[in-house]
Amino acid sequence: MLSHTNVILYINIIMNSTQYTDAEIAPLASLDEWEDDLILRYPDPDSLAQAKAKEEFRNYDDPARDTVKEFYRLNHKYQTYDFVMEKRQDFLKFNKKEMTLWDSFEFLNTLVDDSDPDIALDQLQHLLQTSEAIRADGHPDWFVLTGLLHDMGKVLCLFGEPQWAVVGDTFPVGCQHSDKIVYPEFFAANPDSTDERFNTKYGVYEPNCGLRNVHMSWGHDEYLYQMTKNYLPESALYMIRYHSFYAQHRENAYTHLMDEHDHEYFKWVKVFNPYDLYTKSPKVPDWNELRPYYEDLAAKYLPSTLKF
């Protein structure tokens, strides 16, 4: 028999699949295509990696680049202020599932990757590579835990959410879209860009009102922030909440909405970003060996189960 939670889950999947076509729900062969494209856009300052990325960047015939472009077209078209409100209303009830952290990782890993299985790392491996690199550099334990958790919100895909409502660069909704956001031309199809409530520099916000008062496009960052906000230090929460906000942490396009508090904590967002982008390696961390360390670490900060 289906549990209450599973019924809600299936209803969500059915509702989403009737609203969007399959091609609109999953323009990418895998979620990793977005992150792989980020590395091309923001290459590792390490010169060797940069040379390699530039070489790949020149390859405009790469079919993955077309799917990423289509992914952003859909993201920019559909991520409106009202869409974000609707998703917050639904997902911030956290009534879909309750799992231990370890079950959450297993659940996340059921996200099937359609790209080349020989080179694709599963979600947990990316999380562990990120957290292990942070640990190796001697950062505080809550920072290591943040590395381990930061993409947990991608479980949204498993609740039937379209890829462009789970991953992708995030940006404020309710005010003008910056031309520093990747593929800004696609915002022409977003109804907010012709809505006078939302299409001015400040839109529904006040100058330097602080990002806590600004709604971001919906995705895995905001979802996990809301899930963990009572358990982790402020620096960790900034890293989780804004790690995909490239238009700010790389391009400084929304400084006019930030306050002093944001500026102080964005330093951590910037420190975190290279660990997210540049620690992917074919070397697979040994989860069984690492698990006792991470179990103790998680128990120090998090409750025994997480509500999704």
Residues that bind Fe ion (CB under 5 A): 151, 276
> How far is 305 from 117, CA to CA, in rounded Å?
31
CB of 224 to Fe ion, least distance (A): 9
**DSSP character for 215?**
P
CA distances from 45 to 36, 137, 181 (A): 16, 18, 21
Closest to Fe ion by CB, 192 or 221: 221
The rounded distance, in Å, linking the Cα atoms of 26 and 41 is: 22
User: DSSP code of 116?
Assistant: -
CB 97 within 8 A of CB 145: no
In the complex with Fe ion, the residue whose CB is nearer, 151 or 169, is 151
Residue 146 C-beta: closest distance to Fe ion, Å: 11
Q: How far is the CB of 48 from Fe ion (least distance, A)?
A: 22
CB of 152 to Fe ion, least distance (A): 9
If we measure between CA atoms, which residue out of 153, 97, 104, 109 comes closest to residue 294?
104
Minimum CB distance to Fe ion, residue 167 (Å) = 7
CA atoms lying within 13 Å on the CB side of residue 35 = 21
**What is the phi-psi region of residue 122: left when phi exceeds 0, alpha when psi lies from -120 to 50, beta otherwise?**
beta
Nearer to Fe ion, 80 or 130 (CB): 130
For residues 37 and 276, which CB has a smaller minimum distance to Fe ion in the complex?
276
Nearer to Fe ion, 169 or 276 (CB): 276
If the CB atoms of residues 205 and 249 are measured against Fe ion, the closer one turns out to be 249
Least Å from the CB of residue 299 to Fe ion:
23
- Torsion, Cα of 6, 161, 246, 258 (10° steps): -70
Cα distance between residue 284 and residue 268, in whole Å: 26
